[in-house]
Chain A
């Protein structure tokens, strides 16, 4: 199938891009890599009369370190991010997770910012942004603002971006984690996740470690599970089994079916993946003592 007629506008600056978005309103869409937008246009599941081409804007590409944060500009491709020396050395979770996104040809063109702006609940990038506590820089004609990942992902394909606003940068905190895990189940390699879990842990000076757990592909958006994480941390620290915490994890979020998988299956898979992550964490914690 072919896309319907659409005009591709090539603004020379971010200001021009924002002005075009204001001028055309809901008839216009920003296009970065287009690896989700173009299939939707080809299948005529999405429509636009104007596409505002962001990929040509030089200020929208690149990775740099600023004020102790890693700044990834929105039109950086998955491949560029995955192979960047700073990501390989300081963000192994991102390098691993990006390897689960689609296929090489799509990773070469699809962008970090585009994935976050689309907010597919089964996508890896939004889940990693939530897990790592990233902050997102949003640009509008009124100016720039920063949004915490926890406030950015609101629901199914729904973000905090208002009409006419553009996702410009993602800021990743560079604090280190002692242990991390990424698990995803999909029907085929590269498919959207049927269920996924990210786990991060680091020792505190005293007491239980800090644990963070993010579930994705099982609800309308990626979800942090702070109660489960706390229960897991306490179990590990006191030498008890964390099985109860894992079994109760599904009570901490609204698990929703999608067109392929019923909610019960997603809940089961979430427990299985979380169980694996917790087991690995428990073993590595014991080894460190």
Chain B
């Protein structure tokens, strides 16, 4: 039995730039971006898929970083919260979060922002009740959720007014 973990070489487009790394097969995507790529905006809360803090975009769609083995992502486009923010993908969502006081400690916030982004893509007509149901996959210990829902409601309203 080998003393070392099984590894795979993966080439990914990370936040727009091509990166090749050797990664332990058992390492999940959240640990990969945090430890191997130095991007610590993706957070770990539960490591079994319920808290939503580990959200990452893979090929444009939201996934759980803790439930994705990085070794399976050869050829994928990965966008972390840093990349989404730098690329201007979530400017209006960030602004609404600030305006509505939707962040306190900030631990859930990257996951919430990406969940909001995913909601805008999948359910742009969502009602307040549907926003709340969509966000059931993201836990927050600080805000009591209302300001987060308020912020997202405001974003959807504003986006719908764009001709």
Interface positions of A (Cβ within 8 A of B):
1-8, 10, 34-35, 38-39, 41-43, 51, 53, 55-56, 79, 102-106, 108-109, 188-190
A102–B5 CA distance with the chains assembled, in angstroms: 31
Q: Give the complex CA separation of A175 and B39 in angstroms.
A: 51
Whole-angstrom distance between the Cβ of B67 and the nearest chain A Cβ: 4
Q: Determine whether the beta carbon of A8 is less than 8 Å from that of B25.
A: yes
Task: Determine the distance from Cα of A35 to Cα of B69 in the docked complex, in whole angstroms.
Answer: 11
Cα-based distance from A34 to B49 in the complex (angstroms): 11
Q: How far is the CB of A20 from chain B (nearest CB, A)?
A: 14
Q: A35-B49, A38-B28, A43-B48 are in contact. Are A109 and B63 (CB under 8 A)?
A: yes
0/1 per residue, B57-96, Cβ < 8 Å to A? 0000111101111011000000000000000000000000
Cβ contacts under 8 Å, A10 to chain B:
72
B66 and A42 contact, CB distance less than 8 A: yes
A-B contacts besides A8-B72, A105-B63, 6 pairs, CB < 8 Å: A1-B48, A34-B67, A42-B67, A43-B47, A104-B137, A105-B115
CA distance A56 to B122 in the complex (A): 24
Q: Which residues of A contact B5 (CB under 8 A)?
A: 5
Known: A6-B6, A104-B115, A190-B136. A109 touches B67 (CB 8 A): yes
CA gap between A157 and B58 in the complex, in Å: 30
Pick the contact of A5 from B26, B115, B136 — CB < 8 Å? B26
Docked-complex contact A6 and B137, CB < 8 angstroms: no
Q: Which of B8, B48, B66 has the most chain A CB within a 10 Å cutoff?
A: B48
Number of A-B residue pairs, CB cutoff 8 Å, is: 95
Closest-CB distance, B58 to chain A (whole angstroms): 8
State which residues 116-163 of B face A: CB under 8 Å. 118-119, 122, 133-134, 136-137
Chain B residue nearest to A104 (CB atoms) is B118
Is A189's CB under 8 angstroms from B133's CB? yes
Task: A204 to B119: give the CA distance in the assembly, Å.
Answer: 42
Interchain CB contact (< 8 A) of B26 among A4, A35, A103, A106? A4
Q: At the interface, is chain B mostly helix, strand, loop or mixed?
A: mixed
| Chain B minimum-CB-distance residue to A102 | B137
- Expressed in whole angstroms, the minimum distance between the Cβ of B88 and any Cβ of chain A is 22
Residues in B whose Cβ lies below 8 Å from that of A38: 28, 49, 66-69
Contacts of A108 in B (CB 8 A): 61-63
Q: Given contacts A105-B115, A190-B137, is CB(A5)–CB(B6) below 8 Å?
A: yes
B122 nearest in chain A by CB position: A104
15 A-B pairs with C-beta separation under 8 A: A2-B27, A6-B6, A8-B25, A10-B72, A35-B67, A42-B48, A43-B47, A51-B25, A102-B49, A102-B137, A104-B115, A104-B118, A105-B52, A105-B63, A189-B133
- Complex interface: chain B residues within 8 A of A105 (CB): 52, 55, 62-64, 115, 118, 137
Query: In the assembly, what is the distance between CA of A253 and CA of B87, in Å?
Result: 55
Contact A2–B47 (Cβ < 8 Å): yes
- In Å, the complex CA distance between A51 and B8 comes to 13
Whether B25 lies near A53 (C-beta < 8 A) is no
Given the complex of chains A and B, what is the CA–CA distance between A88 and B72 in angstroms? 30
Known: A5-B6, A8-B8. A103 touches B52 (CB 8 A): yes
Q: How far apart are B77's CB and chain A's nearest CB, in angstroms?
A: 14
Rounded to whole Å, the gap between the CB of B7 and the closest CB of chain A is 9
Minimum distance in angstroms from B140 CB to a CB of chain A: 14
Complex Cα distance A39/B68, Å?
10
Using CB atoms, name the residue of chain B closest to A83. Answer: B122
Pick from B6, B48, B55, B62: contact of A8, CB below 8 A. B6
Least CB distance from A142 to B in Å reads 28
CB distance from B161 to the nearest CB of A (A): 24
**B137, A106: Cβ atoms closer than 8 Å:** yes
Question: A2 near B63 (CB under 8 angstroms)?
Answer: no
By the criterion CB–CB under 8 Å, are B134 and A104 in contact? yes
